[in-house]
Chain A
Amino acid sequence: MKKGFLATLMISAGIIACQPAPQAAKEEHKNTFSKATTQKTSKKSSKEKEFLKALGAQDKWQKACSNPVQVAPEGVDVTKFIEEMKATIKYPADGKLVGDWKKGESLALLPKEYKALYGRKGGSKKGNCYACHCGDPRIIACGNIGPSLRGYGKKGIDPKMTYDRIYNPWAQVPCSTMFRFGYHGLLSPEEIADIVAYLHDPESPINK
């Protein structure tokens, strides 16, 4: 018992990992810090510039959500916001909105979750659904930020609704904490269709 706790304590890695080593310091000459300093400074400032570019990549909808309330857009018309978000949604070329649930499962689970369940490689960092949702009862380390997805396929929800909600949650709930997977290209249309199958298929562990 005691050992178990210690082990989990030591191996448990949150969604936030520790930082990679910054560029290892260049060879060091005693008494000549000024030289080393200018070298490193120019290097670092390019990293700073890159970070600022990334911070500057805010789109107008994110901007509208950047207020103290956070989950309601400010200074824009909500109906228009939703329409604009809907217009971003793209569908798979073959028009199939329900794909392969097994592939969907591998996208929804982290590699370590997949390995724990099936003992083989699989999983992905892209979906990370269990950070916020519970669903497959075998996955106990699940978040409670979104509603449980347990039995989701039995609710009679239109798969297209599910597809849209994953592609761009902000087309249904502006400024939701669930991020816009398809809009940002985190998941492709085909991958989203696979996740839709994972949520809807009666054979999926979500509904079993």
Chain B
Amino acid sequence: MKKGIFASLLGGALFLVNAEAPTPEQLKILKEMGVSPADVIVEEGRDYYHNLKGTTGKTCASCHGQDGANLVGAYAKMPRYYTDIGKVADVDLRVKACLEKYVGVNAKGKKGRKYIVPLAGYVATLSNGMPINIELKHPEEKRLYEYGKELWYKRVGARDFSCAICHDVLAGKRIRLQKLGAPVRDKLYAHWPAYRISKDKLWTMEDRIRGCYKSFFLFNPEKGKFDFKENWVKKPPFYMEEIIALELYMKKAANGAKVEVPGLIR
């Protein structure tokens, strides 16, 4: 079903390029062509929202209303602190917590992502058109925001990288043929979660940040200098505080921008 739509979408594409990456204009055309394959994934999320049942017998809709009625606008304020779980959660972690705690579905690991990503996509669309509004009211939110800012500038790993080196200093330049965007300066959070055309996948911001950390060549110093086989620490595990801190930093910077998801990326 999903594959079919993707194929027909591509079949109808009329691009005259031989570069590796489509330009933003081409992505726009893809979007204007109508059915985005991302919508199919969001539909899947809507379906889980109303029908997925676990050990408690409840669905998301039992608590949050038909068609996400009580979650309208929630994504625009996330990540934020939640008393029921005692921590700051982004959309991924919040959905995971609800799946495990309230629906009774094992949402660990890769299997969990199968539910979490479409559900996160669906929840995010419920805030479409609304301005991002990160308030930083709770002390934990403030702490994580500051931590996220520190991580944004932190040069570390065997490549001496930081988020800021690529996304502030080099923004607008090309790594190979990939243009480096400025998520903080240009409020790019507004189009996340986004559909990755090259991978035919919906990506949440967690996926994006983990992917970017892979380029750092982080390593465990207890096992000497960087080595591809011995001590390469490729990515932070999902839902780790460090990821949520960076999200808080980037999303606060996007305050005022209207949520427009799912975005479309290379």
| B233 x A50 contact (CB < 8 A) | yes
A62 vs B217: C-alpha distance in the bound complex, in angstroms? 14
| B176 x A142 contact (CB < 8 A) | yes
Chain B, 213-243, CB within 8 A of any chain A CB: 214-215, 217-222, 225-228, 233-238, 240, 242
Minimal beta-carbon separation of A168 from chain B (angstroms): 10
Among B160, B178, B233, point to the contact of A62 (Cβ < 8 A).
B160
- A94 near B: Cβ within 8 Å? no
| Contact A68 to B153, CB < 8 A, known contacts A48-B240, A55-B218 | yes
- B71 near A: Cβ within 8 Å? no
| B218 x A54 contact (CB < 8 A) | yes
- B156 near A: Cβ within 8 Å? yes
Minimal beta-carbon separation of A183 from chain B (angstroms): 9
Among A9, A54, A144, A186, point to the contact of B173 (Cβ < 8 A).
A144
| A9 x B169 contact (CB < 8 A) | no
Cβ proximity bits A37-67 to B, threshold 8 Å, 1 near / 0 not: 1001000100110111111111000110111
Complex contacts, B153 vs chain A, CB 8 Å? 66-68, 70
A70 vs B153: C-alpha distance in the bound complex, in angstroms? 7
| A2 x B173 contact (CB < 8 A) | no
Known: A5-B18, A57-B221. 14 other contacts (CB 8 A): A1-B16, A8-B18, A12-B21, A14-B21, A17-B214, A33-B55, A51-B242, A53-B222, A54-B220, A55-B154, A58-B154, A66-B155, A67-B153, A145-B170
- B159 near A: Cβ within 8 Å? yes
| Contact A70 to B226, CB < 8 A, known contacts A37-B100, A132-B175 | no
| A70 x B173 contact (CB < 8 A) | no
Q: Which residues of A contact B (CB under 8 A)?
A: 1-2, 4-6, 8-10, 12-25, 28, 30-31, 33, 36-37, 40, 44, 47-48, 50-58, 62-63, 65-68, 70-71, 125, 130-132, 141-145, 170, 175, 177, 179-180, 184-186
| Contact A30 to B176, CB < 8 A, known contacts A22-B110, A47-B237 | no
| B211 x A54 contact (CB < 8 A) | no
A57 vs B233: C-alpha distance in the bound complex, in angstroms? 11
Chain B, 149-203, CB within 8 A of any chain A CB: 150-151, 153-162, 164-165, 168-170, 173-178, 197-199, 201
Mind listing 10 A-B residue pairs with CB under 8 Å?
A5-B17, A12-B266, A19-B235, A23-B109, A25-B110, A50-B220, A55-B151, A57-B220, A145-B173, A177-B170
Minimal beta-carbon separation of B244 from chain A (angstroms): 12
| Contact A16 to B212, CB < 8 A, known contacts A30-B55, A47-B237, A54-B157 | yes
| Contact A12 to B20, CB < 8 A, known contacts A179-B159, A184-B226 | yes
Minimal beta-carbon separation of B182 from chain A (angstroms): 13
| Contact A144 to B174, CB < 8 A, known contacts A19-B207, A51-B240 | yes
Instruction: Mark the stretch among B7-15, B62-70, B73-81, B121-129 that contacts chain A.
Output: B7-15
Minimal beta-carbon separation of B213 from chain A (angstroms): 9
Minimal beta-carbon separation of A124 from chain B (angstroms): 10
Q: Which chain A residue lies CB-closest to B218?
A: A54
| B211 x A51 contact (CB < 8 A) | no
Complex contacts, A12 vs chain B, CB 8 Å? 20-21, 198, 266
A71 vs B164: C-alpha distance in the bound complex, in angstroms? 10
A142 vs B19: C-alpha distance in the bound complex, in angstroms? 11
- B108 near A: Cβ within 8 Å? yes
Complex contacts, B164 vs chain A, CB 8 Å? 68, 70
A66 vs B198: C-alpha distance in the bound complex, in angstroms? 33
Complex contacts, B227 vs chain A, CB 8 Å? 185
| A16 x B215 contact (CB < 8 A) | yes
| B198 x A9 contact (CB < 8 A) | yes
Complex contacts, B211 vs chain A, CB 8 Å? 16-19
- B106 near A: Cβ within 8 Å? yes
Among A37, A62, A66, the one with the most B-chain Cβ atoms within 10 Å of its Cβ is A66
| B175 x A18 contact (CB < 8 A) | no
